[in-house]
Chain A
Amino acid sequence: MNGGGSFTVAVASGKGGTGKTTVAVNLARSMGTRVTLLDCDVEEPNCTLFLYGGIITTREVGIPVPEVDESLCDACGECSRFCAYKAIVSVGSAPLVFPGMCHGCGGCALVCPRGAISEKESRIGTVERSECGSVTLVTGRLDVGMAMAPPLVRAVKECSRAGEPCIIDCPPGTSCPMIAAIRGADMVLLVTEPTPFGLHDLGLAVNAVAEVGIPAGIVVNRTGPEGLDVGAFAKERGIPVLLEIPDDRRAAEAYSRGELLVDAIPGWKSLFELLRERTVAMAGGRMTREFRQGRDRRPE
């Protein structure tokens, strides 16, 4: 049995540092088929530290920001009144553009009565592609100083390939970058740890995922005798716990050196194969109806 078929699973967590990337890279390695791994944690992308292959392509990603032709502008201020983000400001003169605040909606160019605004791409980061055995790794890397992660997350997601399973390493948290990463996925794996912070933030993540309407499964990382009971919470919220990863110093050490757990620790390969089977089954259960609806909704 392999992980065949085409589905998208997003690996997310409310709290950072719970082992999201660990789960994403080890699951990718355990798929048994060709798989695309999208590193959408564009603020701090780390998958390449665990799966290295030569970078095959690097592409710049930008968002369209306005450029004002001052010879056409009569300082009417319509663009600045329209912009919801105060990214273009006109005070009795040709407007100033603040590219860092612009969402690239295109509205100012559309409302300008004098056709004085055109759009030009303004770089926010890069998308790299590399091949590491059966895994195609696509990494989004936000330029330092750039605020807008979601457009780059969307650019990375455009690199998923039809007919091939896709795993997404999401940004931590519960706000726009994380939402941009999980949208359209067939299921979300929420990685947590059995600590008060972990459980608290898991609750927040569960609420965010419910808001988007995607089924979720839980992976508990670093379980041990002192850990809190994540199972009770999971049961209360009706979410299955798909895997428990034991707390093991060898795992922390392998991680710190940038090694895959499935390679570094004897016997852990089967742990992630179990996760693969459960994930495939869960994602597959949804593939028939809602999956297609999700896909059909996307334009182009």
Chain B
Amino acid sequence: MREIVVVSGKGGTGKTSVSASLAVLAAPVVVVDCDVDAADTHMLLTPSPGRENAFLSGHMAVIDPGACTACGKCLELCRFDAVSGDTSGIYQIDPVGCEGCGVCARFCPSGAILMEERNCGVWMVSSARTGPLVHARLAPAAENSGRLVSLVRTEARRIASEKGLETVICDGPPGIGCPVIASVTGASMILAVTEPSLSALHDLERVLSLAAHFSVPSAVCINKHDINPDITERIESAMKERGVPVAGRIGYDPGFTRSLLTGMTVVETDSPTAAEIVRLWEELLSIGDSGDG
């Protein structure tokens, strides 16, 4: 099984449009939307939605006001600024600040604090024209996006082997933190979508270092390469130095946004960049074949 994770470091480079396009080219595939904070793949692949499964993860402290004696122990112990309390004796836990460590509950001398299971969102397996789409919706301001990513990824791989599908395409989150790490560890390949700006180059370098840190092979695609040829050139030479192949170059194309309005991917339209994405996919396949092991 081949698992390609599309990331970007910086958001807004066209990661989701590219990954959904690749899914169309590779179909039938399992697609998994690991950008659980802002899951958008379903807007392009317009699946018939599957059943929602609750994502319960971690805990949250709740103070029973009847049992609380306002001793202030929880306020003293909490390292996440989640406890508020004052001399009037009303102690409260801010659910948004609580990380669920359980220290307050364990050491409350009156046993007034309970750890409640936290509902962090939902996940579902929907059926799209490209095959199964595993996606999720994190509850507003919820924690544990990394765990949700691991969950949807595991589910995607399970479905792929069950249905005998060779490829999993994963739309990854921006950044380099916990959800990104959860998305890339153990994947077959990372495709980093970037654009010619100093910020995007800076972020690209960081996400490629992360890929190297976890020993995942990577390739790069430069979107909107014609917007700033100078910086495109800088990206190309930086990649040469790193030994990371530039697998594709996509020209600036307002069709990226326009195709969204119709719920289609760029490669399904007569957009001039469609051919460039086809070439990107072919290149990725050949990199994958030659780089096995």
Residues of A whose CB lies within 8 Å of any CB of B are 14-18, 21, 42-44, 46, 49, 82, 84-85, 103-107, 110-111, 142, 144-150, 154, 171-179, 183, 195-197, 200-201, 204, 207-208, 210-212, 226, 252-253, 255-258, 296-299
Complex CA–CA separation, A104 to B78 (angstroms): 10
Q: Which residues of A contact B203 (CB under 8 A)?
A: 44, 46
Chain A residue with Cβ nearest B209: A144
Complex CA–CA separation, A149 to B81 (angstroms): 16
Decide: B11 and A21 in contact? CB cutoff 8 A.
no
Q: Which residues of A contact B248 (CB under 8 A)?
A: none
Q: Which residues of B contact A171 (CB under 8 A)?
A: 175, 177
Complex CA–CA separation, A13 to B86 (angstroms): 34
Q: Which residues of B contact A149 (CB under 8 A)?
A: 175, 177-178
Chain B residue with Cβ nearest A141: B206
A174 with B37, Cβ < 8 A, contacts A46-B202, A255-B197, A257-B198 known: yes
Decide: A49 and B106 in contact? CB cutoff 8 A.
no
Segment from B137-145, B160-168, B281-289 that makes contact with A: B137-145
Tell me the residues in window 33-87 of chain B with beta carbons closer than 8 Å to chain A beta carbons: 36-38, 40, 43, 58-59, 75, 77, 79-81, 84, 86
Q: Which of B37, B59, B75 has the most CB of A within 10 A?
A: B37
Is B19 close to A, CB under 8 A? Answer: no
Segment from B93-101, B123-131, B237-245 that makes contact with A: B93-101
Decide: B103 and A105 in contact? CB cutoff 8 A.
yes
Decide: A106 and B106 in contact? CB cutoff 8 A.
no
Chain B residue with Cβ nearest A85: B101
Partner of A43, one of B43, B175, B254, B258: B175
Q: Which residues of A contact B260 (CB under 8 A)?
A: 195-197
Decide: A15 and B11 in contact? CB cutoff 8 A.
yes
Decide: B100 and A147 in contact? CB cutoff 8 A.
no
Q: Which residues of B contact A18 (CB under 8 A)?
A: 11-12
Chain A residue with Cβ nearest B231: A256
Q: How many residues of B contact A (CB 8 A)?
A: 67
Partner of B103, one of A110, A178, A258: A110
A84 with B231, Cβ < 8 A, contacts A44-B9, A106-B79, A211-B96 known: no
> Across chains A and B, which 7 residue pairs bring their CB atoms closest together, nearest first?
A17-B12, A16-B11, A173-B37, A105-B101, A43-B175, A256-B197, A147-B178
A115 to chain B, nearest CB (A): 16
* Given A16-B10, A257-B197; 9 other pairs, CB 8 A cutoff: A15-B12, A44-B203, A148-B178, A149-B178, A150-B99, A207-B141, A212-B141, A226-B257, A257-B198
B76 to chain A, nearest CB (A): 8
Chain B residue with Cβ nearest A64: B79
Decide: A14 and B38 in contact? CB cutoff 8 A.
yes
Mark interface residues in B109-149 (1 if CB within 8 Å of A CB, else 0).
00000000000000000000000000000101111111000
B291 to chain A, nearest CB (A): 22
21 A-B contacts (beta carbon < 8 Å): A15-B12, A17-B11, A43-B180, A49-B199, A144-B206, A144-B210, A145-B210, A148-B178, A150-B99, A171-B175, A174-B140, A175-B142, A175-B143, A175-B145, A200-B38, A204-B38, A211-B141, A212-B96, A252-B227, A253-B228, A256-B197
